Amino acid sequence: MDTIVQVEGLRKTYGALAAVDGVSFEVREGEIFGMVGPNGAGKTTTIECLEGLRKPDSGMVRVLGVDPQLEGQALCLRTGMQLQQSNLPDRMKVWEALDLYASFYPKAVDWKELLLRLGLDEKRNTPFAKLSGGQKQRLFIALALLPDPQLVFLDELTTGLDPQARHAIWDLVRDVRTRGKSVILSTHFMEEAEKLCDRIAILDHGKIVALDTPANLIHSLDAEERVVFSVDGPLPATFEKSLSGAVRLEVQGGQVIIHAANGCKGPAKGSGNGLVSEVVSQLGGQGIQFHDLRTEQPDLEDVFLSLTGRDLRE
Amino acid sequence: MKSLLKMTWMEAKLFLREPVSAFFTLIFPLVMLFIFGSIYGTQPVPGTDSTQGAIGTLIPAFTAMIIGMTGLMPVTITLATYRENGILRRLRTTPVSPLVVMAAQVVVVFVMTGLGVLLLAVAGKVVYHVRFDGNVFSMLGGFTLCSLSFFGIGFILAGVMPNARTAQILAMVLLYPMLILSGAAWPRELMPATVARLSAFLPLTYVVNLLRGLWIGESWGSHLLDVAVLAGMLLLGIVVSVRTFRWE
């Protein structure tokens, strides 16, 4: 796969603060690349350097083969941008915004089709100020897709949206990718990054502290997997002994939590299934009545917190 | 070119959807005309040496009022708000040139100002049978010069002030005394002589002088000072607004 974005040693300081401090990564064609991190980690600054909106202090940035600082004008014909803080005039209607922005590009796609695809058709005559947060973001995605871009930047697209709107936006982003476009997005929702992105860079204090696929990031944590279930009445003491060695058992009220052994590496899926089937077969074999059995997997949030710490920022 | 046309049309619609600016540009001057018309009728304003009735003095003065208001309020507020709210930021990510953004503003406010003046002139003609002694093209030229030089002030304020709020407050602080003292809102002849001396420091005074002169058929040559001041303002406006243009 071709590399469409290359960043080497990117640095950007505001006064004494290094907002981005030596960041290097690559984005490949056709992937959804996510940047996650606490507020002030440097996500937006990095994206804005890629977009050509900010001038890096040092480092090399190539987007679709060009330097955004030198050929920003050419780049904005081939990229679509959704910015964290931007707006349209309050009284501008949805169709008017699309019609106006389409006129800026020599080869804009048909905005009427975008209107349908983004579910904005019944809002076409609604003024911008009257749109909900999710509708505004959908309109911004539509504006970003007008030039039929190869690469789309989405900066904190779903911040402040309710879960329904967020899931609708995720579907749209996946749809953008299936149409052969690459996406770079930033978010501070771990769930969003985990579900949406092919690869994720975790940023903290202006540096990339981890970069990999969501699955690999989670494996790398070595976090234990848990099997949780409820029993009526006391758990027979024989049950714990019947489980194979590297397992820890904990009883909280009627709930039993079985931890997979720490540090057991290897293919997580396999080991996870192993633990569940062992627990279930022992429960069945000993005739113990149980219900509400579920497994709890470590997720990206666990990875994130272990890398960036639990201290409150700001 | 296509984007300039679309943008201009869009800004025109937005202008008319904003009730305050549409009211002050199109309706308010008419209200003023009818108030003063009902006071003076077709009699000359006391103290003027004009052979014209009051309305003949008031229409060019109110034209100056519209120019002052549109130059300072909509131009300043629109641009400063667009920047503050990130509307310009969104535009910046597109290939559109800042010149298109500015030109669309100028064209729209100019046309709206012209529309306000046209309504005023038609009302003067139909209701008060006002007499126009000047040359239409000369009047149009004067109107264009005055308008553009005043839009320049609006662009400068929007470009130099840190945010929309301060730009708007400063625009109002400049506008109201200017309307009252320059003879744009009512004839300067009705005010004490000291006020007339003070008015020499107000740019709008030169608009009033030039337009009143052209209305009664005076030549451009007899208004060289007015023209020089306005042309200087126009030049300054262009240079400063292009230099101070910021997307955010």
The residue-averaged pLDDT of A169-197 equals 90
**Do A115 and A95 touch, CB atoms closer than 8 A?**
yes
- Mean pLDDT, residues A250-261 taken together: 79
pLDDT at A267: 42
| pLDDT for position A283 | 85
pLDDT at position A264 is 45
pLDDT digits over B185-232, tens only?
877 877 888 887 888 889 999 999 999 999 988 999 999 999 999 999
CA R_g for chain A: 24
ipTM: 0.86
Smallest Cβ–Cβ distance between B90 and the set A51, A88, A99 belongs to A88
Write the residue in A73, A83, A105 that is nearest to B90 by C-beta: A83
Residue A143: which of B205, B82, B93 has the closest Cα?
B93
- Overall average pLDDT of the A216-233 stretch: 80
Half-sphere exposure of A66 (CA within 13 A, CB side): 14
Distance from CA of A184 to the nearest CA of B (A): 16
Please state which of the ranges A45-49, A169-173, A300-304 shows the lowest mean pLDDT.
A300-304
Residue A193 clears pLDDT 80, i.e. is over it: yes
How would you list the strands of the sheet with A182-187, edge to edge?
Answer: A79-82, A151-155, A182-187, A32-36, A199-204, A207-212
Residue A76 CA from chain centroid, whole number: 24
**Mean pLDDT, chain B, as a whole number?**
89
Integer Cα distance of A95 and A62 in angstroms: 34
Cβ B216 vs Cβ B190: under 8 Å: no
User: Could you tell me which of B69, B241, B75 has the C-alpha nearest to residue B156?
Assistant: B241
3-state SS class at A93: strand
What DSSP line would sit under A270-284, residue for residue?
A: HHHHHHHHHHHHHHH
Q: B18, exposed or middle or buried, with CB in 10 Å at 0-12, 13-18, 19+?
A: middle
Instruction: Write down the pLDDT at residue A266.
Output: 41
| Interatomic CA distance for residues A309 and A180, integer angstroms | 36
Q: Mean pLDDT throughout A84-113?
A: 93
Q: How far is Cα A69 from Cα A53, in angstroms, rounded to an integer?
A: 8
List CB contacts (< 8 A) between B87 and chain A. 86-89
Q: What percent of chain A has pLDDT over 90?
A: 44
Query: Across the interface, do B94 and A76 touch by the CB < 8 Å criterion?
Result: yes
Domain A224-297 top-level CATH class = alpha beta
Confidence of residue A118 (pLDDT cuts 50, 70, 90): confident
- Mean pLDDT rounded to a whole number for chain A: 86
- Contact at CB, B6 and A99, closer than 8 angstroms: yes
In total, the C-beta contacts within 8 angstroms joining chain A to chain B are 56
Chain B nearest CA to A261, separation (Å): 51
Please say whether the beta carbons of A131 and A94 come within 8 A: yes
Estimate to the nearest angstrom the gap between the alpha carbon of B248 and the chain centroid. Answer: 27
Please say if the pLDDT value at position A301 is more than 90. no
d(CA B241, CA B99): 10
pTM assigned to the model: 0.82
Q: Residue B20 above 90 pLDDT?
A: no
Residue that the structure tokens 């879960």 belong to: A163
B90 contacts on A by Cβ (under 8 Å): 83, 86-88, 140, 143
**Is it the case that residue A186 has pLDDT exceeding 70?**
yes
Q: In what order do the strands lie in the sheet with A17-28?
A: A17-28, A3-14, A58-63
Q: What is the mean pLDDT of residues B90-116?
A: 92
Q: Of B137, B133, B142, which is closest to residue B113 (Cα–Cα)? A: B142
Domain A3-78+149-219: what homologous superfamily?
A: P-loop containing nucleotide triphosphate hydrolases (3.40.50.300)
Say what the pLDDT of residue B88 is: 92
Measured distance CA(A86)–CA(A155) in Å, rounded: 11
Within chain A, which residue ranges are assigned CATH 3.30.70?
A: 224-297
List pLDDT tens digits, range A30-75: 999 999 988 888 999 999 999 998 999 999 999 999 999 998 888 8
Q: List the domain boundaries for chain B.
A: 2-244
pLDDT at A9: 94
pLDDT digits (tens, 9 = 90+) for B38-50: 888 777 776 666 6
- Whether residue B93 and residue A88 make contact (CB cut-off 8 A), yes or no, is no
Could you tell me which residue, A92 or A282, shows the higher pLDDT? A92
Distance spanning both ends of chain B, measured CA to CA = 24
For A268-284, what is the mean pLDDT?
Answer: 70
Measured at the alpha carbon of residue A172, what is the angle toward residues A167 and A177, in degrees to the nearest 5? 125
